[in-house]
Amino acid sequence: MDIGAFMLDSVPFARLLGITFDSIGSGEAVARLADRGDLRNHVGGPHAGALFTLAETASGAAMLSAFGDQLSRAVPLATEARIGYRKLAMGEVTAAATLRAEREAVVALLDAGERPEFEVAVEIRNAEDVVVSEMTVSWTLRPNRAA
């Protein structure tokens, strides 16, 4: 599965913002948001909502890189997100997301009929590689109901 294409097809808002992916795999993803005038806030940097969407999109790609093979039996859902805006972001930004769970443990819970929950941590960096925002997204895999 081409996770980047899947994400942009299933989340049109991310596509609208022009989010692209530098890399995706093994519970990690790096997404990029270009510097666009129509995405800037009142101080000239990317709007907080655009930063949030970039980070959440990166977290989803990282999650899918680890659990995409489970989509036939469970629906991934973000259940909570916490973001901290640390420094003023200016220009192009990247979001690096990392799964904070062991794949085998999450799949074992799903195998046991449970609804696993896990986190993905994200750092948003500016072009100078300075962390401007940090986000943690809590995800669950909701088992499909039997027909």
Q: Taking the CB of residue 98, how many other CB atoms lie within 10 A of it?
A: 17
What pLDDT does 120 receive? 98
* DSSP string across 33-99: E---GGGB-TTSSB-HHHHHHHHHHHHHHHHHHHHGGGTTTEEEEEEEEEEEE-S---S-EEEEEEE
Q: Give this prediction's pTM.
A: 0.96
Tell me the C-alpha distance between 107 and 103, whole Å.
6
The CA distance from 76 to 50, in Å, is 22
pLDDT (tens place) for every residue of the chain, 147 residues total: 899 999 999 999 999 999 999 999 999 999 999 999 999 999 999 999 999 999 999 999 999 999 999 999 999 999 999 999 999 999 999 999 999 999 999 999 999 999 999 999 999 999 999 999 999 999 999 999 865
Q: What span, in angstroms and rounded, lies between the C-alpha atoms of 70 and 53?
A: 24
* 3-143: CATH class: alpha beta
Instruction: Give residue limits of the domains in the chain.
Output: 3-143
Nearest to 45, CA basis, from 86, 1, 89: 89
Q: Which candidate, 109, 145, 116, 4, places its Cα nearest to that of 64?
A: 4
Tally of CA atoms within 13 A in the half-sphere of 8 that contains its CB: 12
Residue 145: predicted pLDDT: 81
